[in-house]
Amino acid sequence: MNNNNRHNLSDKFLVDKVLSGDTSAFALIIKNTEGLVAQIVFKMINNPDDRKDIAQDIYLKIYKNLAGFKFGSKLSTWIAQVTYNTCLDYTRKKKLSFPGTIEENEIDAPLSDETDTLIHQRELSTILKEGIEKLPPVYKTLIVLYHNEELSYEEIVQVTGLPEGTVKSYLFRARKALKNNLLLTYQKEDI
């Protein structure tokens, strides 16, 4: 049995349990997808107060529309699509400007074991995160989906509704903009 079939079986099992009234199954869906939802929300929504409301709205939409999920993709891909579209609707409604910054999360490197290499890696990671945060939300989101969440182009197409060529083009542009911004900010030997 391939990995896709395994996902569809476990997804179907969870969805069926939720639809039959099992709230613990929905709690499991939330637990399994909260990292993905948080990644998208944090990259697209700058206001920390709005993030919680949007995340709750996303899961409310998912719960209300779960019966309409057709298993044409993984459940997590569908949830990412709902998340992306909800955030996009929010930014359109609020007419928010796209460039923005978000508070940085601490890296989970153990401080007691840091060597020069770990310190250097941490600095590079921080520089990279800061550079990503300066990109427009769509670019930030695509980078997160592709590089952090390791979604395929096909899955990103399903999440965003953008054509595959556009996804590839935007990812290329995002990486190029990130590189240019970093080179403007830091000298090559600093990076």
More confident call, 106 vs 1:
1
* Summary mean pLDDT of the chain: 79
What pLDDT score was predicted for residue 183?
A: 81
pTM above 0.75, yes or no: no
Name the more confident of 185 and 30.
30
Task: Kindly report, residue by residue over 79-94, the tens digit of the pLDDT.
Answer: 999 999 899 888 888 7
Q: Looking at per-residue confidence, does 177 or 96 come out higher?
A: 177
Round to whole Å and give the CA distance between 138 and 160: 9
For residues 7-31, average pLDDT: 86
d(CA 35, CA 103): 17
From the candidate CATH numbers 1.10.1740.10, 2.30.130.30, 1.10.240.10, 2.40.160.20, the one assigned to the domain spanning 3-190: 1.10.1740.10
Is the model's pLDDT at 143 over the cut of 60?
A: yes
B/e letters for 18-45, b = 16+ CB within 10 Å, e = fewer, are beeeeeebbeebbeebeebbebbbbbbb
Q: Name the pLDDT band for 113 (thresholds 50, 70, 90).
A: very low
Mean pLDDT check: name the lowest of 17-26, 29-38, 90-99, 126-135.
90-99
Percent of the chain with pLDDT over 90: 29
Distance, CA of 105 to CA of 58 (rounded, Å): 22
Nearest to 77 by CA among 149, 183, 163, 135: 149
Q: For the chain, which residues make up each domain, given as ranges?
A: 3-190
Mean pLDDT in residue range 151-168:
90
SS3 of the chain: CCHHHHHHHHHHHHHHHHHCCCHHHHHHHHHHHHHHHHHHHHHHCCCHHHHHHHHHHHHHHHHHHHHHCCCCCCHHHHHHHHHHHHHHHHHHHHCCCCCCCCCCCCCCCCHHHCCHHHHHHHHHHHHHHHHHHCCCHHHHHHHHHHHHCCCCHHHHHHHHCCCHHHHHHHHHHHHHHHHHHHHHHCCHHHC
Q: Which of 66-70, 147-151, 166-170 has the lowest mean pLDDT?
A: 147-151
CA dihedral 158, 162, 164, 169 (to 10 degrees): -140
Q: What residues contact residue 146 under an 8 Å CB cut-off, 6+ apart?
A: 153, 156, 171
| Mean pLDDT, residues 24-43 | 91
Amino acid 190: pLDDT: 54
> Exposed/middle/buried for 11, CB within 10 Å: 0-12, 13-18, 19+?
buried
Higher pLDDT: 189 or 139? It is 139
